[in-house]
Every structure is written in structure tokens, then in C-alpha cells.
Copies of this chain bind each other. A is one copy, B any other.
Amino acid sequence: MSEPPLASIKIVLVEPAGPLNVGGIARVMKNMGLGQLVLVNPHCDPLGPEAQQMAVHAFDVLSQARTVQTLPEALEGCQRVVATTARQRRLQVVTQPPKQILPWLLTDSAALIFGPEDRGLSNEELYYAQAFLQIPTSPDYAALNLAQAVTICCYELRQCSLVPLDNPPTETKIAVSNLPQAELAPFQQMEAFYQALELTLLEIGYLYPHTASARMQKLRQLFNRSQLSTQELAMLRGMIRQVHWKIQAN
């Protein structure tokens, strides 16, 4: 693999609060051949003096960074999304080390999400991803600095991109669809589907407003894990529409 797939991978920082971190992240992204930085509701000035001081010769990455207000906006157009997590949570998600999951991101529409310095990603934020990355650490002190976590991932992304093509990313241990990857449903279509599904499930009384969020997370897990194609998604949406129509018609 050559540079282009690396250069198109989005590094998404959710509510970063440390300008030194953001600057350091821009620097290591450029060091490793990445260029797409997306900041979700940043709690610091990504173009201020501290960020610039740490970015050094990567000010272009900072100045070209996209700032959005919500994580779904950041992920628009993405087909493969990996979220990072430090803790073993009570969730039924399987985390994978960088070497194992990152090759899977070497495509044209991929994103890697990092949570805020103080809390990491919330469950809701995690479930926008199809796979979950955890950097192996000592049990004595597991919490990595944000910029250092991004450093390790950018380094490994570059390492993965340098492996010869006879060791292709499809070997990554994720339940990859049999369909050609071009047909994978993009993020915004998946989100539209989840919204339609939730509305319909509320409508039919399967979900209640106070349980909807937790239950939808489980459904997201289920569907994200299966990596839907656009055709499969169209089929599911057809089913939802049909349910809705049936209720209205009664």
C-alpha cells in the first residue's frame, strides 16, 4: 500500500481540551503521513499558540482541520469506523490491539475516533463505530495521554500501510462482509437507518423513551458488527417503511 489510503484516514478527536495535545497530534499525523484531522466540539483553540508550538512544521494539518459540532457530522461518508477505548467496559464489545484492527482502516473512507482527555468516549459515542481498539498497557497504569495514544495509532497505521500486499488487510480478524467493500453502507445511511428504526420501534411500543437509548446501543452493536451493504440497508429500510405504513393504515 502507498500513501493515499493513509492520507485519507480521518483522525477524529471528540471534545479535545488540551491545545498541546491537539498540536502534538497534528505533528505526529504529518510525521506518519496522515492529514485529515477532525475536531468534534473542541474545548480548546486548535490554532492558538500552544497548539502551534507543539505542531511545529505541521501547522498545515491544524489549519486544514475540520471542526464540527457532533460526532455523526465528523463521520459523514465513512464506511469503516474504529473507536478507541482504554477501559474494559461492561459492554459486550470485543476490543482489538492496534496491529490487529488498524489494517482494516486502510481504505478510502475510514475514521479512527479518540475520546476527550478526562473521560474517554461515552457508550453512545463508542457505538458509532463497528470495531474497537485498545492499546495494550501495563495493568499498573492503563490511562494513556491522548497525544501519545494517537501517536501509537498513527505509527501503527503507517506500519500497516508498509506491509507488502501479499499480507492484505482482509486478514484482519473482524467479521468482514463477503461483499465487495465498495458496497458497504456509508455512515450517514446507517445513521438514517438507526433513526428510522428507533422512531418505528418507539411507534410500535417496542421501545419506550426511557429505555430507547440503551436498547438502540445493543442494536447498533448487532448491525455494525455485520457491516451492512447498501443493498441490505435498503432492504431493512424497506421493512421499516412497511411497518410504519401498516401502522398508519390501521
Contact = CB atoms under 8 A, between A and B. Distances in A.
Contacts of A27: 141, 144-145, 148
| Band of interface residues on A | 20 to 34
B30 A138 contact: yes
A148 B137 CA distance: 16
Contact of A30 (B54, B99, B141, B152): B141
A54 B144 CA distance: 11
Interface string A184-201: 000000000000000000
Contacts of A148: 24, 27-28, 31, 147-148, 151
Interface string A54-77: 101110000000000000000000
Chain B CB within 10 Å — which of A20, A28, A99, A158 has the most?
A28
A25 to B, nearest CB: 9
A141 B31 CA distance: 5
A32 interface: yes
Of all A-B residue pairs in the complex, the 8 with the closest CB atoms, nearest first, are A33-B138, A30-B141, A148-B151, A31-B137, A151-B151, A152-B155, A28-B148, A31-B144
Given A31-B141, A31-B148, A136-B159, 7 more contacts: A24-B147, A27-B145, A31-B137, A32-B138, A54-B145, A57-B141, A138-B158
